[in-house]
Amino acid sequence: MTVELVELVKVYGTKRVLDGVTEKIESGEFFVILGPSGEGKSTLLRIMAGIEKPDKGKIIVDGDDVTNKPPEKRNVAMVFQNYALYPNMTVRENIEFPLKMKGEKKEQIREKVEKVAGLLGISEILDKKVTKISGGQQQRVAIARAIVRNPSYYLLDEPLSNLDARMRTVARGELKRIQKELKGTFIYVTHDQKEALSLADRVAVLHAGKFEQVSKPKELYDYPRTKWVAEFIGDFPMNFVPGEILGERVEEVGFRPEWVNVGKGDLTCSVESVEAVGDSRYLICVFKGYGITILSEEYYDVGDEVRFEITQYRKFKDGRLEE
Partner 1 sequence: MKWSYIGAIVVGAYFLFPLYVLFLLAFNSPTFTILARYPALLPISLTLNNLVVSLQGSAFIDPLIKSLETATLVGVITLILAVPAGYGLSRLPRTVAYPILVLLLVTNMMPAIVIGIPIAVEFIKLHLFESVVGLALAQTLITLPLATFILQGTFSSIPQDLENQARVDGAGLLRRLFSILLPIAAPGIAAAFLISWMFSWDEFTYAILLIPFHSTLPVTIYSDVTRGNLLAGVAFSLVFTLPVIVLTFALQKYLRGEYLAGGIKG
Residues near partner 1, by CB under 8 A? 46, 49-51, 70-72, 74-78, 80-88, 97-98, 101-102, 129-132, 138, 145, 162
Closer residue to partner 1 in complex, CB, 156/178: 156
Closer residue to partner 1 in complex, CB, 116/310: 116
Closer residue to partner 1 in complex, CB, 98/243: 98
- Residue 246 C-beta: closest distance to partner 1, Å: 48
- Residue 30 C-beta: closest distance to partner 1, Å: 20
Closer residue to partner 1 in complex, CB, 162/198: 162
Closer residue to partner 1 in complex, CB, 88/312: 88
- Residue 59 C-beta: closest distance to partner 1, Å: 14
- Residue 140 C-beta: closest distance to partner 1, Å: 13
Closer residue to partner 1 in complex, CB, 94/293: 94
Question: Per residue, what are the HEC states of the chain?
Answer: CCEEEEEEEEEECCEEEEEEEEEEECCCCEEEEECCCCCCHHHHHHHHHCCCCCCEEEEEECCEECCCCCHHHCCEEEECCCCCCCCCCEHHHHHHHHHHHHCCCHHHHHHHHHHHHHHHCCHHHCCCEHHHCCHHHHHHHHHHHHHCCCCCEEEEECCCCCCCHHHHHHHHHHHHHHHHHHCCCEEEEECCHHHHHHHCCEEEEEECCEEEEEECHHHHHHCCCEHHHHHHCCCCCCEEEEHHHHCCCCCEEEECCCCEEEEEEEEEEEEEEEEEECCEEEEEEEECCEEEEEEECCCCCCCCEEEEEECCCEEEECCEECC
- Residue 5 C-beta: closest distance to partner 1, Å: 18
- Residue 46 C-beta: closest distance to partner 1, Å: 8
